[in-house]
Structure 1
Amino acid sequence: MTADTPLLSVQDLSVAFRQGGRESLAVDRISFDIHRGETLAIVGESGSGKSVSALSVMKLLPYPAASHPSGRILFKGEDLIAADDAAIRKVRGNAVSIIFQEPMTSLNPLHTIGQQVAEPLILHRGLSAEAARAKAVDWLGRVGIADPEGRLDAYPHQLSGGQRQRVMIAMALANEPDLLIADEPTTALDVTVQAQILALLKDLQRELGMAILFITHDLGIVRRFADRVCVMRHGRIVEQGPVVDIFERPQDPYTIALMAAEPRRETRAADPAAPVIMQADDLRVWFPVKRGLLRRTVGHIKAVDGISVAVREGHTLGIVGESGSGKTTLGLALLRLISSEGPIVFMGRPIQGLGFKAMRPNRRQMQVVFQDPYGSLSPRMSVAEIVAEGLAIHHPGLTEEERDARVIAALSDVGLDPETRHRYPHEFSGGQRQRIAIARAMILEPSFVLLDEPTSALDRIVQAQIVDLLRDLQAKRNLTYLFISHDLKVVSALADDIIVMKGGKVVEQGPAERVFKAPENDYTKALFAAAFDLAPVSSERA
């Protein structure tokens, strides 16, 4: 291999999937090269073939349902498509590692964090269990896990989404690979941790000469982090070149639209005297920490520690903060989906302490849209069944025709073709699935909706569409939103008021306009600086 030879060369690659006797192309004759020490980003809309292309490199597609009608994937000169299973096993997790987008489905729920980070070190490096455990502590610390030694015996469900993603990154980097495939590696991370992780990857890239294939929908990260960009649409690369050329002189109409798309803020007169829909005072959610043979409580994780909040009718309250700060825990506590202490009043009625049956009448008025459109929809139910599920509980007297009419109306409201209602979730893109999740929440005509990172898994064009959709639904129905996100650009486009959380506490709150223009708290300033800074990534910056 000469210095000019690419580390990875994808040549005329096609990927087809066979289903029900029919074959359809997901990737259509794409070609690109990556050299040692280089970062190539692949961007594009949901369903464009980005992840399928990356998974092909490690032969992780569901073969034999997937096939390659054309092309070669040369890694260090060896064609990985033609390689046998034994050869591929030597490459996977060793010379080539991957960070997946959704850590909760990628981490084994039955194994501790320490076991999972140590496993590739034992398998590929031959380290003893003790040496691998020590190395795991080192890597968890390097990717920003607080108290890494104490987290070794934790299970994935005991960590926040951002912490789980950092564990995935530690697992991928532990064997110091030649090529790192990063499939949306910062989706679940707040902007300050994003900066830390990207700086860490850059440091390792310089140290190891590692190449990075970076898949993301966050164009801000691409501009700061990548050397070259491939823009994909409908399975094809429509444009590729150096980052500066693509961002400053895009040629393809789709690339131009992608660069121009961004959630926009619209000024509207939210009534400052509107009635309070949701209120909590001194709310606390403490999780016990148990150790020893008898599992005695030795302390508490104070996920939400004495927070008071009030959300007015027709307003959007944005909640931002780093991963593990308690954002989602606060939202779930307000909806009485997890236990908490402190009074909660919904639509003028105290709901803290109400049992399952007593809470049911309130459930129709409070709905939730979750972060992951892939994991929150049942793959065994049609879209019509998913959207109509709440009607069976809260409106049992409706006829089948009446339920179907409401499903059609709900899908139309969120911009989906009602004729597709008998299809299943896997037949839709990520953005379409998120619209289905929104339709499921809206069909019950709620007053209060918890939006937990509803745009984090979506590309930039679809993000802007979803923000516009949520804004339109709010105006039409006078909805009240609790909007949780680490994407401050999306929050600034939608929120009337904002709460900044850190370590389970509120460090700053107030009208969004004021907080974004003149933040007072040092943490808030650092958070905003990381979110809106487009300078190149360097270790000194993080």
Structure 2
Amino acid sequence: MSLLEFTDLRVSFKQDGGLVEAVKGVSFRVEKGEVVALVGESGSGKSVTALSSVNLLSDNAVIGGSILYEGRELAGASENVLRKIRGNDVSFIFQEPMTSLNPLHTIEKQLAEILLVHQGVTGAKARERILYLLDRVGIHNAEERLGAYPHQLSGGQRQRVMIAMALANAPKLLIADEPTTALDVTIQAQILDLLMDIKRDEGMSMLFITHDLNIVRKFADRVCVMKDGEIVEAGKTAEIFDAPSHPYTKLLLEAEATGRPIPVPQNAKVVAETTDLRIWFPIQRGFLRRTAGYVKAVNAATFSVREGETVGVVGESGSGKTTLALAMMRLISSQGPVVVMGQDVQGWNNRALRGLRADMQIVFQDPYGSLSPRMTIAQIIAEGLGVHGLGDHASKEEAVIEIMHEVGLDPDTRHRYPHEFSGGQRQRVAIARAMILRPRLVVLDEPTSALDMTVQVQIVDLLRDLQVKHKLAYLFISHDLRVVRALSHKVMVMKRGGVVEAGEADAIFDAPQHPYTKALVAAAFDLTVEEGAGV
């Protein structure tokens, strides 16, 4: 008997008086102790399929077909039956932890609630279990993090907390929806090794949803390839990778960001630079909130970026990558010079900075969370023009149409809303919003991590083309070293707030010097880590 078996699964959503089909006759099974990977582009139906297993879909969903869990039919099962299975037998790790964690509760309280509800464990035993779980998923100084709220953790740390919550009750089946998207390659490898250890030790099965085929190749026993709500190919992992039969599977396997950026002229102007930049956050304790120490988020960072140049910033979650970028954008306080186009803007007030803001733009990691659901695409893209008082209504409309053409979007869709677009299209909207102001410096904060491989390649090509056309300076933050290599001229490697290595991209990737850099490169490109190169 299979642990989980879908037979002719069909999922539709009621919309505008009709039904929109999301999953169309999907059939596959997950055996005990097995890892099955669901792969495919955004919108292919992977997550909908997984969520339907214990009916975590929205109220307008209509589920047809059969879903058997240990021989019990779950399609159409009562809420009481499903509630006993959710969290106990079947646990989930979702892609975006900020939408899954309660922003009003501490990490300890959220983990303790799970242990209380499902196991009745409280007090010292619960705290001991929580510390064990946090330590096991790679949270450093776990005891100091218990009182932290989700917004006080990095994206990778939040994802690790989500994984700890999912593993708290030792489930029989773990459904992981892009569980390592926000993690750097070394932590990613640790988390996946952890999941595999638990799978082996406890016989746990996994339904693994991902766009990272390198992970699938290493860890999945079988693969189901989905496209447009259907499984177009399924089989053992080795067979699918070695001899794919469907054209779409071949396309997925061939999709990888390649090539190198166009060389930067020697006389290219410096757009932004800093020397020994520091960002320290005080640790305040006691009734009087006295400063007991500092969190050294960034400690003595030095770099410059020129016209047409990309500086890649890599390192583990919480290493200070995003904090450094925000300080260069003058969005958080820092110590040390922040020189933008020849002017040291450190200490400038908001009024003085406003004239400079159009020249400094940012594209965020999550295209779902960074776009207002209440605004049309045209309004989102043109918002910056309005803020800076650039142009009248007609000229704004013309600029929106022009930039949508430039980023590969159909201008006829400009009056639609974000939810009507795929993840890749939303990221193009976010890029258009930044580029419409014709900036000089663009911070790209994990702009491809939430995207499937085929869309990643498209976005990298788009960013490369825009950079050449407009001589843009990029500060490119990513944990995906393959994408960093394809896009970056220089690379800066950060660990726990410090820059451990920096230099030309080819030198960093071909001959890394620092043990941590060696470990990152080895993990990203499936190399053997030299003795002593651990993290």
**With structure 2 as the length reference, what TM-score do the two structures score?**
0.97
Q: Distance in 2 between matches of 1:216 and 1:280?
A: 37
Partner residue of 1:477 out of 458, 470, 482: 470
**In the alignment, which residue of structure 2 is the partner of 1:324?**
318
Partner residue of 1:170 out of 155, 160, 164: 164
Contact 2:262–2:468 at 8 Å: present in 1 too?
no
Give the 3-state SS of the residue equivalent to 1:450 in structure 2. Answer: strand
Partner residue of 1:500 out of 493, 497, 500: 493
**In the alignment, which residue of structure 1 is the partner of 2:531?**
none
Matched, 1:33 2:29: yes
**In the alignment, which residue of structure 2 is the partner of 1:212?**
206
Contact 1:187–1:457 at 8 Å: present in 2 too?
yes
Give the 3-state SS of the residue equivalent to 2:195 in structure 1. Answer: helix
Structure 1 residues 483 and 294: alpha-carbon distance in aligned structure 2, compared to 1, 3 A threshold: same
Cα deviation, residue 295, structure 1: 2.7
Q: Distance in 1 between matches of 2:114 and 2:367?
A: 30
Alpha carbon RMSD of aligned pairs, Å?
A: 1.2
Matched, 1:9 2:18: no
Q: How far does the alpha carbon of each residue in 1:185-233 deviate from its partner, in whole angstroms, 9 at most, with x for none?
A: 0000000001110110011001111000000000101101111101111
Q: Residues 14-413 of structure 1: matches in 2 within 5 Å?
A: 14-63=10-59, 65-68=60-63, 70-266=64-260, 268-396=262-390, 398-413=391-406
Contact 1:220–1:534 at 8 Å: present in 2 too?
no
* Matching residue's letter, 1:380: R
Q: Residues 409-428 of structure 1: matches in 2 within 5 Å?
A: 409-428=402-421
* Matching residue's letter, 2:42: S
* Matching residue's letter, 2:269: P
Q: Between 343-352 and 289-298, report the one with greater CA deviation.
A: 289-298
Structure 1 residues 87 and 251: alpha-carbon distance in aligned structure 2, compared to 1, 3 A threshold: same
Q: Distance in 2 between matches of 1:267 and 1:433?
A: 24
Cα deviation, residue 266, structure 1: 3.0
Q: Between 184-193 and 13-22, report the one with greater CA deviation.
A: 13-22
Q: How far does the alpha carbon of each residue in 1:383-437 deviate from its partner, in whole angstroms, 9 at most, with x for none?
A: 01100100101234x2212111111111111101111111110111110100000
**Taking every aligned residue pair, what percent have the same amino acid on both sides?**
60
Q: Distance in 2 between matches of 1:269 and 1:493?
A: 12
Q: Distance in 2 between matches of 1:306 and 1:351?
A: 18
Unaligned runs of 5+ in 2: 529-533
Q: Between 257-266 and 183-192, report the one with greater CA deviation.
A: 257-266
Cα deviation, residue 267, structure 1: 5.1
Q: Distance in 1 between matches of 2:54 and 2:439?
A: 45
Contact 2:272–2:305 at 8 Å: present in 1 too?
yes
Give the 3-state SS of the residue equivalent to 2:451 in structure 1. Answer: coil
Cα deviation, residue 534, structure 1: 7.5
Give the 3-state SS of the residue equivalent to 2:461 in structure 1. Answer: helix
Give the 3-state SS of the residue equivalent to 1:71 in structure 2. Answer: strand
Q: Distance in 2 between matches of 1:288 and 1:233?
A: 49
Contact 1:368–1:451 at 8 Å: present in 2 too?
yes
Q: How far does the alpha carbon of each residue in 1:76-116 deviate from its partner, in whole angstroms, 9 at most, with x for none?
A: 11122221111111111111000010011111111000111
Contact 1:73–1:79 at 8 Å: present in 2 too?
yes
Aligned residues: 530
Unaligned runs of 5+ in 1: 536-540
Q: Distance in 2 between matches of 1:100 and 1:295?
A: 36
Contact 1:223–1:534 at 8 Å: present in 2 too?
no
Cα deviation, residue 157, structure 1: 1.0
Q: Distance in 1 between matches of 2:293 and 2:386?
A: 43
Cα deviation, residue 60, structure 1: 1.0
Give the 3-state SS of the residue equivalent to 2:378 in structure 1. Answer: helix
Cα deviation, residue 292, structure 1: 2.8
Give the 3-state SS of the residue equivalent to 2:371 in structure 1. Answer: coil
Contact 1:100–1:184 at 8 Å: present in 2 too?
yes
Give the 3-state SS of the residue equivalent to 2:303 in structure 1. Answer: strand
Q: Distance in 1 between matches of 2:398 and 2:269?
A: 32
Cα deviation, residue 179, structure 1: 0.3
Cα deviation, residue 476, structure 1: 0.8
Matched, 1:491 2:484: yes
Cα deviation, residue 446, structure 1: 0.6
Q: Distance in 2 between matches of 1:124 and 1:403?
A: 55
Contact 1:320–1:485 at 8 Å: present in 2 too?
yes
**In the alignment, which residue of structure 2 is the partner of 1:538?**
none
Cα deviation, residue 129, structure 1: 3.3
Q: Distance in 2 between matches of 1:43 and 1:296?
A: 51
Cα deviation, residue 131, structure 1: 1.8
Q: Distance in 1 between matches of 2:485 and 2:130?
A: 38
Cα deviation, residue 290, structure 1: 2.1
Q: Distance in 2 between matches of 1:444 and 1:418?
A: 18
* Matching residue's letter, 1:17: F
Q: Distance in 2 between matches of 1:492 and 1:348?
A: 28
Detail structure 1 runs of 4+ shifted over 3 Å in the superposition.
Answer: none
* Matching residue's letter, 2:160: R
Cα deviation, residue 291, structure 1: 2.5
* Matching residue's letter, 2:44: S
Give the 3-state SS of the residue equivalent to 2:294 in structure 1. Answer: strand
Contact 1:283–1:341 at 8 Å: present in 2 too?
yes
